[in-house]
Amino acid sequence: MTAVTAVPPRRRPGNRQALRLLVLVVIVAVVLYPLLWMLGTSVKSQAEIVNNVGLLPERFTPGNYLDGWTNFDIGFGRFFLNSALVSLLTVVGNGLSCLLAAYALGRLRFRLRKVWFTVMIGTLLLPGHVLIVPQYILFRSLGLVGGDWPYLPLLIPHFLATEAFFVFLMVQFMRGIPRELDEAAKIDGASPYGVFRHIILPLSRPALVTTAIFSFIWTWNDFFRQLVFLSNLEDYTVPVALTLFIDSTSQSAVGPMFAMSVLSLLPVFLFFLAFQRMLVEGINTSGLKG
Amino acid sequence: MALTTAPGPTPRTGPVGPRPTRRGAGRTRLGEGLAGYVFLSPWLIGLMGITAVPMLLSLWLSFTDYDILTPLSEVRWVGLANYERMFTADPSYWHAVRVTLTFALVAVPLKLAAALGVALLLNRTWRGVGLFRGLFYLPSLLGGSVALAIVWVNMFNRDGAFNSFLALFGIEGLPWVADPDWALETLMVLAIWQFGAPMVIFLAGLKQVPTELYEAAAVDGAGAWRRFRAVTLPMLSPVIFFNLVLETIHGFQGFTAAFVLSNGTGGPVDSTLMYTLKLYIAGFTDLEMGYASAMAWVFLLAIALITAVFFSTGRFWVHYSDGEDA
């Protein structure tokens, strides 16, 4: 053999890196294929949907979007507005109520604080499905299901800080705000309300933004609660409306169904593009710190 | 870190009296105690009204034959009948339990394995790693939606994209989503496809592993596999534990995709009858809310039990290094 073998028998890092990159590219292709396929199918004609299952349409057929938009008695615009309303109000509710609770649990000293903190941690793992039946009964007995304010059953829990995950996230975040600031403000005569208003609230902005983004995305994608609590077509949100396509089993609706599916994911995708770094790093790793 | 800043009263003036109180400190403490409850009140109301009372209500309902149509005052107490029916007289209940366990036992380990594998591939920083990480994370954001479930069902249809991929290799595919033997598997693939969220957590964990450990192991002559077994896995075990608990509980609650695939029935032939779907059908399709409440309580206890098992076995394999910075 040649002199090259004098080098210790180790693959060259360059080759290794290339192999690694190749594997990653293949995985990316597998991961992205369903999304691209969805996009492609949404602009295929009915005939093509059956015959051509490839990524690209032979003939670009944007008409599916129009057909889907007007497929039901009520246009999809209404469903999008409904989803936006529910999601945005959930953002407000979660941000507000979870910040208040987190300030109390993470920063103030009062009786039973430790007990409440433990209870809050306990509710972190409580599956929402367990409470759906009694919550439905309670909201219904209050006349709040399918009435003039159809979204109250979806929103009220979020204005009462029941999403323990965000409370926990904010408590963790507040641990990073130096306590000296509170102390200094107190010496200057600030009350706990003043400390909240002038120190905690402004400094918690990053945690609030993370909470807002995830509240929006999770509510926008949520299906179970919306399915249970929304009973009138005009109150339907996008995910519930999408299932109407499945009910109408006729094959002809596949194109419009895909078109509306694409549109329904668009806000989440835009959030992803805008806040990619924050989404990836923010919430997922926050549970590990502290 | 939080502990070091705890503001204890500093006895600057030597050992005087019981406590070197500042002016008005007593009042501040009282004010703070009140303020604590003021700030906590929305959460407390939520805890009572949205969580605790419904839980108790559901416990009571589970011993009744309540359906939404009769008023609560005329509900009949049936004792343990709901539980009896569930465990002895409703085969589809046990079927749902089996479907859910199968789903979690297969999908969760595979998802975590995929997440760890890709995280290890990405763990060397070079240009473009952020892009890959972002792309892999995308399915975790979109995958739980109705829209993606719809796409999935169509992809695994008889004439869906997956079969045309198989056709490239001369394999004739099945109508996967319509086949009782395969429908649940397509949902598992959908779950595994969303490996990005645990992957991000693994990546954060891998960053915390001190490189000196690898260097020391390499000096001692450990190969790549040995280094993975002896350094990476133990150092990563808290993160693996965290992901395992989270994903298992998450896996038990799979609902959306099963609902979309079966149009809310759990079919074909109950093959996708996840527990939560069974609960939904009992409560909101059949309106047997007493029965559904019994199911909910068993579900809650099962999840609590599984979490407890995780935490009690965790100390045998989860390695916490003491010097961990907070």
Cβ distance B297 to A130 less than 8 Å, yes or no, reads yes
Residue A150: asked if its preceding bond is cis (omega within 30°), the reply is no
Q: Assess B121–A contact: CB distance below 8 Å, yes or no.
A: yes
Helix ranges (DSSP H) in A108-178: 113-124, 128-141, 152-159, 164-174
Partner residue opposite B150 with nearest CB, options A127, A162, A257? A257
> Under DSSP, is residue B94 helix (H, G, I), strand (E, B) or coil?
helix
In the prediction, which pLDDT does A132 show?
A: 94
Cβ distance A261 to B148 less than 8 Å, yes or no, reads yes
Cβ distance B42 to A101 less than 8 Å, yes or no, reads yes
Residue identified by tokens 């929304």 is A230
Instruction: Say which DSSP state A183 is in.
Output: H
Q: What does the buried/exposed string (b/e) look like for A159-191 if buried means 16 or more CB atoms within 10 Å of the residue's CB?
A: bbbbbbbbbbbbbbbbbebeeeebeebbeeebe
Cβ distance A133 to B50 less than 8 Å, yes or no, reads no
How far is A181 from A183, CA to CA, in rounded Å? 5
Q: Best mutation site among B53, B56, B58, B146 for testing chain A: the one with the most A CBs within 10 Å?
A: B146
Chain A residues touching residue B293 (CB < 8 angstroms): 133-134
In the prediction, which pLDDT does B207 show?
A: 87
Cβ distance B300 to A130 less than 8 Å, yes or no, reads yes
Rounded to a whole number of angstroms, the distance from the CA of B17 to the nearest CA of chain A is: 22
Q: Which of B272, B62, B69, B290 is nearest to B183 (CA)?
A: B272
Partner residue opposite A133 with nearest CB, options B38, B144, B292? B292
Which segments of chain A have a pLDDT < 50?
A: 1-9, 287-290
Chain A residues touching residue B126 (CB < 8 angstroms): 17
- Residue spans per domain, chain A: 12-66, 74-247
Residue identified by tokens 């079966």 is B262
In the prediction, which pLDDT does B16 show?
A: 41
- Residue spans per domain, chain B: 26-61, 81-317
Residue identified by tokens 């003039």 is A148
Partner residue opposite B58 with nearest CB, options A125, A134, A269? A134
Q: What's the pTM value of the predicted model, to 2 decimals? A: 0.88
In the prediction, which pLDDT does B20 show?
A: 43
Q: Assess B252–A contact: CB distance below 8 Å, yes or no.
A: yes
User: Are the CB atoms for B154 and A41 separated by under 8 Å?
Assistant: yes
DSSP result, B269-308: TTTT--HHHHHHIIIIIS--HHHHHHHHHHHHHHHHHHHH
Q: Identify the sign of the CA torsion B173, B179, B183, B184.
A: negative
A74-247 is classed in which CATH architecture?
Orthogonal Bundle (1.10)
In the prediction, which pLDDT does B110 show?
A: 98
Partner residue opposite A284 with nearest CB, options B121, B155, B201? B201
Q: Assess B39–A contact: CB distance below 8 Å, yes or no.
A: yes
A25 CB-side CA count, 13 A: 6
Chain A residues touching residue B5 (CB < 8 angstroms): 178-180
In CATH, B81-317 is 1.10.3720.10: yes
> Under DSSP, is residue A237 helix (H, G, I), strand (E, B) or coil?
coil
In the prediction, which pLDDT does A261 show?
A: 96
Rounded to a whole number of angstroms, the distance from the CA of A123 to the nearest CA of chain B is: 9
How far is B20 from B11, CA to CA, in rounded Å? 6
Residue B77, beta-bridge partner list: B64
User: Are the CB atoms for B102 and B189 separated by under 8 Å?
Assistant: no
Phi, psi at B267, each rounded to 5°: -80, -175
Cβ distance B148 to A129 less than 8 Å, yes or no, reads no
Rounded to a whole number of angstroms, the distance from the CA of A161 to the nearest CA of chain B is: 5
In the prediction, which pLDDT does B171 show?
A: 85
Chain B residues touching residue A111 (CB < 8 angstroms): 33, 36
Q: Which of B1, B123, B265 is nearest to A178 (CA)?
A: B1
How far is B14 from B220, CA to CA, in rounded Å? 56
**Which residue of chain A has the CA closest to B44?**
A160
Cβ distance A133 to B58 less than 8 Å, yes or no, reads yes
Long-range contacts (CB closer than 8 Å, 24 or more residues apart) made by A99-102: A99/A170, A99/A200, A99/A201, A99/A204, A99/A207, A99/A208, A100/A161, A100/B39, A100/B40, A100/B42, A100/B43, A101/A161, A101/A167, A101/A170, A101/B39, A101/B40, A101/B42, A101/B43, A102/A167, A102/A169, A102/A170, A102/A171, A102/A173, A102/A174
Cβ distance B146 to A38 less than 8 Å, yes or no, reads no
Q: Cβ neighbours of residue A143 under 8 Å, at least 6 residues apart?
A: none
DSSP result, A9-62: S---HHHHHHHHHHHHHHHHHHHHHHHHHHHHHTTS-HHHHHH--SSS-SS--T
**Which residue of chain A has the CA closest to B282?**
A133
Cβ distance A243 to B259 less than 8 Å, yes or no, reads yes
Rounded to a whole number of angstroms, the distance from the CA of B283 to the nearest CA of chain A is: 7
Q: Assess B55–A contact: CB distance below 8 Å, yes or no.
A: yes
Which segments of chain B have a pLDDT < 50?
A: 1-25, 323-326
Chain B residues touching residue A17 (CB < 8 angstroms): 126
Q: Cβ neighbours of residue B256 under 8 Å, at least 6 residues apart?
A: A223, A224, A239, B144, B145, B146, B149
- State the angle between helix axes of A76-107 and B25-46 in degrees (0 to 180), rounded to the nearest 10: 150
Q: Assess B44–A contact: CB distance below 8 Å, yes or no.
A: yes
Start-to-end Cα distance in chain A: 56
Helix ranges (DSSP H) in chain B: 25-46, 53-61, 81-84, 91-122, 129-142, 146-155, 161-168, 183-193, 196-208, 211-219, 224-227, 233-252, 256-262, 275-280, 289-317
Chain B residues touching residue A178 (CB < 8 angstroms): 5
Cβ distance A186 to B145 less than 8 Å, yes or no, reads no
